[in-house]
Amino acid sequence: MGALDQVDLGLSLGKAESEEQLEREWKRLAQLRLTLGGLIGDGGRQLGPALCVVFEGWDAAGKGGAIKRLVAPLDPRHVRVAQYAAPTADEKRHHFLRRFWPALPGWGGMAVFDRSWYGRVLAERVEGLASREQWLRAYDEINAFERTLVHEGTILVKFWLHISPEEQLKRFESRAKDPLKSWKLTPEDWDNREERPAYEEAVEDMLARTSEPRAPWRVVPAESKHYARVQVVRTVNEEIEAGMRRWGHEPPSPA
């Protein structure tokens, strides 16, 4: 049984309950983010460790909605959201990790990655865009890369948003009928769905090979969007508090 098989996709929250919990988590997130940025707090308003949140997941799993809720309580000047699709011809001339460096946050900063360097061991692996030698080597390269970030003071939070094939199909069909959402659905999405067994194998390998003590994967049940959104914000808050303590910064008491 793999890690994905152990996820309880039945976990859910109603809209009213999720909104109540989000308000509480948002207040805490805003306080923690301002503290990391040295904008509030004691100790001479020192900068706290950097925060980098990485989102991966199935197509239509709700990454965009989760990111939207995560950054909702934050001043746009205090967070950067970076999106990544297939690398360009120029980016392919360099090591695959190179294009992600410019968006990485420094001390006191925060960045959210909508897809990431894990494309090398997911889409590039399954679609044959990277050789077997390349994507096998990538596990060690990614672990070393993330280890460097963590050792330099980055709180790295990695999410995989998980939904069933049945729920994904429902969302695909809903998108196809909605003129304001149909642009989100591409022929590649349908092709990827047909290759789900190969993607599941790649995801299981990724979770097993790149989950380390300071950069573990958080697999979020996302069948209920309300549940997933609350879980994402709550987890980020918990990771900020733990990361601050690792670097000798006591988190502020809840406002």
- The residue among 212, 207, 213, 127 whose CA lies nearest residue 162 is 207
- The residue among 72, 17, 57 whose CA lies nearest residue 171 is 57
Domains defined for the chain, CATH in brackets: 4-242 (3.40.50.300)
User: Is the pTM here over 0.85, yes or no?
Assistant: yes
User: pLDDT exceeding 70 applies to what percent of the chain?
Assistant: 99
Strand 110-114 relative to strand 50-57, pairing? parallel
How much is the mean pLDDT over the chain? 96
- pLDDT tens-digit readout, 31-70: 999 999 999 987 557 899 999 999 999 999 999 999 999 9
d(CA 217, CA 158): 5
- The residue among 34, 149, 168 whose CA lies nearest residue 97 is 149
Residue 174 has pLDDT above 80, yes or no: yes
